[in-house]
Structure 1
Amino acid sequence: MEFSEVIATRRAVNHFDPNRDVPDALLRQVVEMAATTPSSFNLQPWSLMVLRDKEEKLRLQKQAMGQVKVSEAPVTLIVLADRKGWADECHFTEKNFQEMIKAGTMKEGQRDWFTKARTKLYGTTEESQLAFATKNTGFFAMTLMLSARSVGLHAHPMDGFSMEGVMKEFNIPDTYWVPLLMSVGYFNEDKELAPAKWRKTYDEIVVRFD
């Protein structure tokens, strides 16, 4: 599918075909495409919980304002943003540093600089930690939706849920923030696909504050 078609046909659909599964290999392909998303210092502070089991999805649905698509879709994702994804205690931080050494973009002698730079940029306040986690995970989530559409799937991002309820129900550590849930699957062709909604024009988007 051409990228222009991906953009033109992407919808946050409300009705998924409950009888048409998303194969594991296809979901893996979608996630691995989304994994190419850029992030600050390539720290990639995102994770996913993949829910396929009906009972688990119903548990999530109770925390998501009863939205039927949560359990109707073959796959619903809990998207996680790691507020400590910049810190030494995150095991991906060391892996990231070692991979940069292998790539020749960092040297072992720059370890202290790398630590200080990460801490200054992302770890000085709770607000900066949350901003780091959510903005980068937002990039990933959008790429995930576009990747899903490129292989014929649809996705619906949701922020209508109790984050505290979801965290408690699924034993999610408090270092994470849950910016959104996302249902993924095939559109139910028995339903009518809603037309694309209005969007701001170029002139409405571009601003100045002289």
Structure 2
Amino acid sequence: MDIKEAILTRRSVKHYDPDHTMTKEEVRTLMEHAILSPTAFNLQHWRFINVEDKQLRQEIREASYGQAQVTDSSMLLVLCADLNAWEKDPQRYWRHAPKEVQDFMLPAIEGYYTNHHQGQRDECFRSVGIAASTIMLMAKGMGYDSCPMDGFDFDKVARIINLPHDHVIVMMITIGKKLQEARPRSGQLELDEVLFTDKFPDETK
């Protein structure tokens, strides 16, 4: 499947075959491509929890208002991010870069993120959002469907997965073999309503 077809056919599927299991090889292939997603300063601050334990899945389902996709999907991913990845041995993010690049990037990382708590959080959400798109399109290319989720109690799920204090949950994604087609698209806005040239239109005219 080419990338155009994956984008056109990717839908948020909520009904999965509970008897289907993804192989460890498939999971690894999916996630090896996910971590090629871009991040600011190459921080790679996403952290992924692949929830396999059935009891934990059931607990997360209860924290997700009973949504069956949580337990029926082949794969349940909790997408998190490390808010403080920028200060945790940052030279490892640039270890293969030339020395002059390292000498520039490492102070730049420190200068940008120190005491910039909103920036730390914003970058985490941007990076995880990009990775989520990669995961869903890669899954589609592998013959699987998916659904991004934020319909759950974040605090409860954080406790279930033992989320570290300096991490944040951004979303979950379910992946598997669909049992039902997604509903027809409910109403895409016209392109000229969301795409502008150079600047927003002057509303006063």
Please give the TM-score of this superposition, normalised by the length of structure 1. 0.87
Match of 1:194 in 2: 183
3-state SS of 1:133 partner: helix
Match of 1:174 in 2: 165
Aligned sequence identity (%)? 26
Match of 1:95 in 2: 92
Match of 2:101 in 1: 106
Corresponding letter in the other structure for 2:177: Y
Q: For the structure 1 residues 193 and 162, does the alpha-carbon distance in structure 2 shift closer, same or farther, using more than 3 Å as the test?
A: closer
Q: Which moved more, 1:59-68 or 1:41-50?
A: 59-68
Tell me the alpha carbon deviations over residues 40-69 of structure 1, each in whole angstroms, 9 at most, x when there is no partner: 111111010101221111111122222111
Q: For the structure 1 residues 35 and 105, does the alpha-carbon distance in structure 2 shift closer, same or farther, using more than 3 Å as the test?
A: farther
Could you tell me which of 139, 147, 168 is aligned with 1:148? Answer: 139
Q: Report the Cα distance in structure 1 between the residues aligned to 2:109 and 2:91, rounded to whole angstroms.
A: 12
Instruction: Give how far 1:180 is off.
Output: 0.2
Instruction: Give how far 1:105 is off.
Output: 6.7
Corresponding letter in the other structure for 1:201: E
Q: For the structure 1 residues 134 and 192, does the alpha-carbon distance in structure 2 shift closer, same or farther, using more than 3 Å as the test?
A: closer
Unaligned runs of 5+ in 2: none
Could you tell me which of 155, 174, 180 is aligned with 1:183? Answer: 174
Q: For the structure 1 residues 150 and 115, does the alpha-carbon distance in structure 2 shift closer, same or farther, using more than 3 Å as the test?
A: same
Unaligned runs of 5+ in 1: none
3-state SS of 1:100 partner: coil
Q: For the structure 1 residues 116 and 187, does the alpha-carbon distance in structure 2 shift closer, same or farther, using more than 3 Å as the test?
A: same
Q: Is the 8 A contact 2:12 2:182 kept in 1?
A: no
Q: Is the 8 A contact 2:80 2:167 kept in 1?
A: yes
